[in-house]
Chains A and B, each alone.
Chain A
Amino acid sequence: MKLRATLGYTAAALTVLAALLTPFLLMGLFSKGFVALGFHVDEMYSGGPKVRAIPMGAYSIDVHRPVYPHMLQNEKPFVQLDWQPVSALPQHISDTVDIDGDGQPDIRVSFDVPRDPKAPLHVDVDSLNPRYEAMRNAGKEKYSRLIVRVDKAILVRVSLRNP
């Protein structure tokens, strides 16, 4: 009983010590440990890693790796394209894009670039390759089908047809 009590008090004293160390050591240690586990944010949100950039003169189009939904996620597979920097974009964009890098255009993307960063965006996508879905006047209905402005880029997500 005495040993158990000694162990109990030792653990209680260590808890007080842990409390004192929390802001200076423990919080940072646990945060770094969590980062070191190597998790990544779901690509449905982040858009997946960038695989290449297509130079378009003053601006460029970043092409991301296609993102496929997990389990019962209520989204279609999509590919994200970033037009950037916004400051270098003309007032109207109408670009054909070779997404898969095979030398053949896959889609034609058209949208206006309003100067007001809070103005709503709408995009038309013509499908030149049956793998990609066409869009008409799309805004930001779903993660897999949208156009939004994020910081210095305009992001367009084009849905892929289910294989």
Chain B
Amino acid sequence: MATDTRILTLARPAPRGILWSLFLTLPILIWSLLMFGNPNAHADRLGHIAGAITAVFMVALFFMMMRTGSTYRWRRIFFVSLGVLFPISFIHNLVVARGTMGIPIEEMIAGRTPFCFMPIPLLILPAAFTRTLVFPGSIASTSHSIAAMVGVWMALTLVLGKGWCSYACFFGGIEEGVAAVPARAKIRKLDPRLRYLPWAVLLAMVLLSLALFEPAYCMWLCPFKAVTEYVAARNLLGLVQNVIFILLFAGLVIVLPFLTKKRTQCSWFCPFGAFQSIFNKISIFEMKIDKERCKPCLLCQNACPNLSLSKESVAQGDTLMSCMKCGACVDVCPRQAIVWHIKGTEIAWKPERARLMFLYSAWAMAVMFGGSIIAQGIYTILHFIV
């Protein structure tokens, strides 16, 4: 108890003034106008309204980040909105174009399967050995093509590293939203070995994709097929695939996040997340723990939605390589011992500068990529309302 009192005496600094916060938000305001102010970007009035709402939304969240000094809760609002609005616009587009969420075989033969980022690691070995992409899409002809998504992924990974999973992934927001619902976790003891599971899934799926010459994860294990599109069940095998998708979605994206308050699909299952962790090594931004300030209360470990902190890593002053840079640990630390950090610089020396440089990069990407998806979702909803 005495320790708690001492911790609480190190209060968070006072919020920034409104004018200074507005000044810091100005670059994002200009960026949002650039992204959503293009009159040719949307053809009709509803498109302009959706773009304007999105721009105001993204700028307001960034302003609150600047004003309060807190990152996680404002980012979470964006991320959950992204996770909810993506399926709305995606499913609507599918139903309008095809009348169903099930992708028929003729669409696959025609190369019209939209390519998401999940199969990227699965394509590498077949492409390396045979120059063949094992995905029924087109390489370059549409905005949903393989090359377009690979281009987006490479550029955003260069900027964000594993931060992709907190600022760009259009799936993770669903479970982050579910995890935010209960006040307390019902299951608190989580086996730390479970955090190695995504690596096992990644290895298995990469090898299976090479052996079967198909995107094995998409065909068999992707929980998000339940809210996007799936192979139309032509036979018993297809039915089994779809039952697996629904069970995995219900278990990993709804039930377990609710019980644990963690992003369990991301922490325990997602092979793309494991693959993306590799790119944290080349990212210049990271989280560091100032060991002199840290009295290991492990609030950060409890707050981390991705199990990216352990007792050992805290003792060493680092997060694990799966850290998504969501900022939950920084926000919760009562001693401000966890800080945003630029590699090569002294730990805890002007951490706000590191935070700002990361957030400008990350939020610019969030506005450009996630923002456009949010705008489409809002457009779909407006389309139904008006």
Contact = CB atoms under 8 A, between A and B. Distances in A.
A146 B151 CA distance: 34
A8 interface: yes
A5 interface: yes
A148 B234 CA distance: 13
B355 to A, nearest CB: 11
Contact of A22 (B345, B357, B368): B368
A17 B106 CA distance: 43
A141 B357 contact: no
Given A18-B158, A35-B140, A41-B133, A8 B109 contact: no
A71 B210 contact: yes
A26 B344 contact: no
Contacts of A149: 106
Contact of A16 (B110, B138, B357): B357
Contacts of B210: 71
A20 interface: yes
Interface residues of B, number: 56
A140 B343 contact: no
Contacts of B285: 12, 15
B364 interface: yes
Contacts of A45: 108-109, 111, 135-136
Given A13-B357, A39-B132, A19 B151 contact: no
Given A7-B344, A18-B155, A151 B110 contact: yes
B343 A8 contact: yes
Interface in B84-128: 104-106, 108-111, 126-127
Interface string A23-52: 100111111101100111111111100000
Q: Is the interface of A mostly helix, strand, loop or mixed?
A: helix
Contact of B136 (A18, A26, A31, A41): A41
A72 interface: yes
Contacts of B137: 41
A39 to B, nearest CB: 5
Given A8-B342, A20-B364, A70-B213, A41 B357 contact: no
A44 B155 contact: no
Contacts of A46: 109, 111
Most chain B beta-carbon neighbours within 10 Å: one of A23, A26, A149? A23
A41 B127 CA distance: 10
A19 B111 contact: no
B1 interface: no
Interface string B42-76: 00000000000000000000000000000000000
A41 B126 CA distance: 11
8 contacts: A18-B158, A19-B365, A22-B159, A39-B132, A45-B109, A70-B130, A71-B210, A71-B212
Interface of B: 31, 35, 104-106, 108-111, 126-127, 130-140, 146-148, 150-152, 154-156, 158-159, 210-214, 234-235, 284-285, 342-346, 354, 357-358, 360-362, 364-365, 368
Interface of A: 1, 4-9, 11-13, 15-16, 18-20, 22-23, 26-32, 34-35, 38-47, 69-74, 140-141, 143, 146, 148-151, 155
Instruction: Give the top 9 A-B pairs by smallest Cβ distance, nearest first.
Output: A8-B344, A31-B151, A4-B344, A19-B361, A30-B151, A26-B155, A148-B106, A45-B136, A30-B154
